[in-house]
Structure 1
Amino acid sequence: MSVPRIEPSPATAFSDALSAFTFRAEESGPIQFLMPAGTLVHHPDHTPGYDPGRLRAFYRDMMMARSIDTEATALQRQGELGLWPPLAGQEAAQIGSAHALRADDYAFPSYREHGVAWCRGVDPVDVVRLYRGVTNGGWDPREKNFHLYTLVVGSHALHATGYAMGLAKRGSDAAVIAYFGDGATSEGDVAEAFTFAAVYDAPVVFFCQNNQWAISEPVERQLRGPLYQRAHGFGFPGVQVDGNDVLAVHAVTQAALEHVRTGNGPFFIEASTYRMGAHTTSDDPTRYRRAAELDEWRAKDPIDRVRTHLISEGHATQEFFDGIDTEAADLAYRIRRQVRTMPNPDRMEVFNHVYADGHTLVDEERAQFAAYQESFADEGAK
């Protein structure tokens, strides 16, 4: 039987339902609309904004994110990149939440949000060049309202909170979203960000992609209860969502953004998902997790469930899927071609943006490094 189109409920009504749901989440489980088998399920408190066209757009962007990730991982294995943090398995969490953002909202990523970068219009080549080591940043964060990657775990939650406080002081109704993993919630910086955000009613959504592993440390070694409940101790709401369900992630993030942008203070989302690859390409996950666990989560693949649903409900043709496959392959080829032809950076450029203005110590270090480089040229001339 085909599923009828369900019109999205008003965001304010959905936000009210979210607040009520928060206190029943432990017994009801994570918010979920689309099951691993590709079937829609009814949720007693929420109605998804069901639109086949939107679901096809979600599918396309998830496929593009996976293509970027697969190609970048291969490039690192072949010595073209110094490092790469894979995102495979987390596409629904990233694409669903990114599609909920307005153009004037600001996103603070950690270092794995390649899918969010794609949705914000950042060229994936600019993301990859960062891990090739040929740029000091990668992109202009002001151009796409997408901040630079942060490898210091959890520190950017404070940056996001400060930026959100600034938006509120200027009277803007834009919102901020900060992405981090389960491991970051064990960092003091995140706790401090929660405190500041709660006290100052900062319009920030804290989006935790709980991928079950903080490098080699399982999530159950980090806390005794569900992650989302940590928000309650800081005085603001938190919910858990099936992070492999793009429909649920999108709906919950949209409601959370509406909650924070209307002056209600911060909101915490725990998207329960799974990192199917390594923490980074320097990691060997076979040393700390079972193959059976990986197989269990592969059966919950976020892309497969959308594809299955689109096919079973007649919302996409084989021509559509073939077109997406071709587009993804073309994107991967462009990334590979441009990465392998990237020029080496000017070594002296690293000194140019340490301070906004000149600094005598930096000038001295620049001169010393220049002399060091010239010494190699002198040796070659002998």
Structure 2
Amino acid sequence: MTVLEQPGSHRPSPPPAWRPRTDPAPLLPDAEPYRLLGTGAELDPELLGALYRQVVKGRRYNRQATALTRQGRLAVYPSSTGQEACEVAAAMVLRERDWLFPSYRDTLAAVARGMDPAEALGLLRGDWHTGYDPYEHRVAPLSTPLATHLPHAVGLAHAARLKGDDVVALAMVGDGGTSEGDFHEALNFAAVWKTPTVFLVQNNGFAISVPLAKQTAAPSLAHKAVGYGVPGRLVDGNDAAAVHRVLSEAVDRARAGGGPTLVEAVTYRIDAHTNADDATRYRGDDEVAAWLEHDPVTLLERELADRGLLDDAMRDGARDEAEEMAARLRDRMNEDPVLDPMGLFDHVYAEKTAQLREQAAQLRAELEAENGDHGDHGDHDGQAKGDGR
């Protein structure tokens, strides 16, 4: 027994620097996910209509991309079917100058941001590492390694603030990504620097086959925010209106200098992890069926109908627009791309290193020997031939 533990002894208070500097109560998320649809809340009819059109288009995009995978036009596709409300809302709350940092499952968010659907699938087709110009729509490269893009989002947001730019970075990650060290580092840096960053965790129940209960013992993923001194918000991820409102508030807070917010959207991955996954090995049909009753498209249609806003013209218009998008995507993906292997050395460094030039020369020689001629493979000191898509 130490002196401090003896009866009647006085345990001194810790120095002021060790004491909590933030009241944790305002940072805590609600006990239940925030909802708007079906609650009678006041909602903008135009916003509801826009969300509906985008979610319907997103559902069609997911189905078309899945079909292209089965046809061999895509190497792999991580579907976001069932998560369309999160994907669409994340894109819609951003201004043109803001940045979106998607994970590998978030091609739909990139498309909702305005990107050509075929370009968004370039990586998954195996054409190019990214397949699009990140600066055109301010969409960072799709991140296949879990959570590695989160510190990048924080760094960009911090740099923008230092430059005086009115920019917010919204970073998307799955529940599995919250088990990575990059998630911790990003949240910690964002909180300390008060960067204009919004973290959207799409909790779809599984990290491939690992359920959330085997990843964390926290009351919710939103509760993790408190440990960093960041507000945590818990929202129904299938309620498009609720996700849009919560993310809008987080983006506005970040833009006003209030710092980062961690938003956990509780949703569900209806399809398998990818076409290479057999989801029946770790979850039952009853579980999937229960979530289908809480489908984001159905929730919006029910809300619009209850408000007298959904008619045949709106429903048919949304579906026709989705079908036109799917037809254009099919046409683009059915074209065989013309890719120059020498394009491997483009966009690696602003100025090629000696080692990169040596590797390029070696590949050029191998290609010329294989073709039996001196084909035009160039130096590729600038852009690759064609549009690289």
TM-score interval, normalised by the smaller of the two chains: 0.7 to 0.9
- Secondary structure in 2 matching 1:107: strand
Match among 359, 374, 377 for residue 371 of structure 2 = 377
Counterpart-to-counterpart distance in 2, 1:344 and 1:171: 42
Q: Which residue is 2:289 aligned to?
A: 295
- Secondary structure in 1 matching 2:330: helix
Counterpart-to-counterpart distance in 1, 2:317 and 2:254: 38
The letter of the residue matching 1:84 is: Y
1:25 and 2:30 aligned: yes
1:187 and 2:180 aligned: yes
Q: Which residue is 1:259 aligned to?
A: 253
Which runs of structure 2 are paired with 1:155-194 in the superposition (5 Å)?
155-194=148-187
Counterpart-to-counterpart distance in 1, 2:48 and 2:67: 29
Counterpart-to-counterpart distance in 2, 1:163 and 1:292: 43
Match among 83, 94, 116 for residue 87 of structure 2 = 94
1:182–1:208 contact (8 Å) kept in structure 2: yes
The letter of the residue matching 2:211 is: P
Q: Which residue is 2:382 aligned to?
A: none
Counterpart-to-counterpart distance in 2, 1:22 and 1:41: 27
Counterpart-to-counterpart distance in 2, 1:341 and 1:296: 39
Q: Which residue is 1:45 aligned to?
A: none
Q: Which residue is 2:45 aligned to?
A: 52
Q: CA deviation at 1:21?
A: 6.8
Q: Which residue is 2:350 aligned to?
A: 356
Q: How many positions carry a matched residue from both structures? A: 349
Matched residues, percent identical? 39
Which runs of structure 2 are paired with 1:128-167 in the superposition (5 Å)?
128-167=121-160
1:70 and 2:73 aligned: no
1:40 and 2:36 aligned: no
Q: Which residue is 1:329 aligned to?
A: 323
1:273 and 2:267 aligned: yes
Counterpart-to-counterpart distance in 2, 1:23 and 1:359: 49
1:85 and 2:78 aligned: yes
Q: CA deviation at 1:143?
A: 1.4
1:200 and 2:203 aligned: no
2:190–2:260 contact (8 Å) kept in structure 1: yes
Counterpart-to-counterpart distance in 2, 1:207 and 1:143: 22
Q: Which residue is 2:103 aligned to?
A: 110
The letter of the residue matching 2:324 is: D
The letter of the residue matching 1:52 is: P
Q: CA deviation at 1:330?
A: 1.6
Superposed CA deviations along residues 272-296 of structure 1, whole A, max 9, x for unmatched, are 0001111122211111111111111
1:129–1:339 contact (8 Å) kept in structure 2: no
1:85–1:112 contact (8 Å) kept in structure 2: yes
1:63–1:328 contact (8 Å) kept in structure 2: yes
Counterpart-to-counterpart distance in 1, 2:26 and 2:33: 10
RMSD (Å), alpha carbons: 1.7
Mind listing any 5+ residue stretches in structure 1 that lack a counterpart? 1-18, 43-47
Give the 3 Å change call, closer, same or farther, for CA 311–168 of structure 1 in structure 2.
Answer: same
Which runs of structure 2 are paired with 1:227-242 in the superposition (5 Å)?
227-242=221-236
2:98–2:167 contact (8 Å) kept in structure 1: yes
- Secondary structure in 2 matching 1:25: coil
Superposed CA deviations along residues 48-76 of structure 1, whole A, max 9, x for unmatched, are 5x111211110111111111111111111
The letter of the residue matching 2:97 is: D
- Bigger Cα displacement from structure 2, 109-118 vs 60-69: 109-118
The letter of the residue matching 1:210 is: N
2:29–2:234 contact (8 Å) kept in structure 1: no
Counterpart-to-counterpart distance in 2, 1:78 and 1:271: 32
1:218 and 2:211 aligned: yes
The letter of the residue matching 1:243 is: G
- Bigger Cα displacement from structure 2, 187-196 vs 303-312: 303-312
Q: CA deviation at 1:80?
A: 1.0
- Secondary structure in 2 matching 1:202: coil
Q: CA deviation at 1:25?
A: 1.4
2:123–2:129 contact (8 Å) kept in structure 1: yes
Counterpart-to-counterpart distance in 2, 1:253 and 1:309: 20
Q: CA deviation at 1:378?
A: 4.4
- Bigger Cα displacement from structure 2, 170-179 vs 151-160: 170-179
The letter of the residue matching 1:345 is: L
The letter of the residue matching 1:123 is: D
TM-score, scaled relative to structure 2: 0.86
Counterpart-to-counterpart distance in 2, 1:167 and 1:89: 34
Counterpart-to-counterpart distance in 1, 2:285 and 2:310: 33
Counterpart-to-counterpart distance in 2, 1:102 and 1:133: 30
- Secondary structure in 2 matching 1:152: coil
- Secondary structure in 1 matching 2:121: helix
2:35–2:236 contact (8 Å) kept in structure 1: yes
Q: CA deviation at 1:24?
A: 6.2
TM-score, scaled relative to structure 1: 0.87
Q: CA deviation at 1:240?
A: 0.5
1:134–1:344 contact (8 Å) kept in structure 2: no
Counterpart-to-counterpart distance in 2, 1:59 and 1:108: 23
Q: CA deviation at 1:313?
A: 2.0
The letter of the residue matching 2:267 is: T
- Secondary structure in 2 matching 1:239: strand
Match among 112, 118, 122 for residue 125 of structure 1 = 118
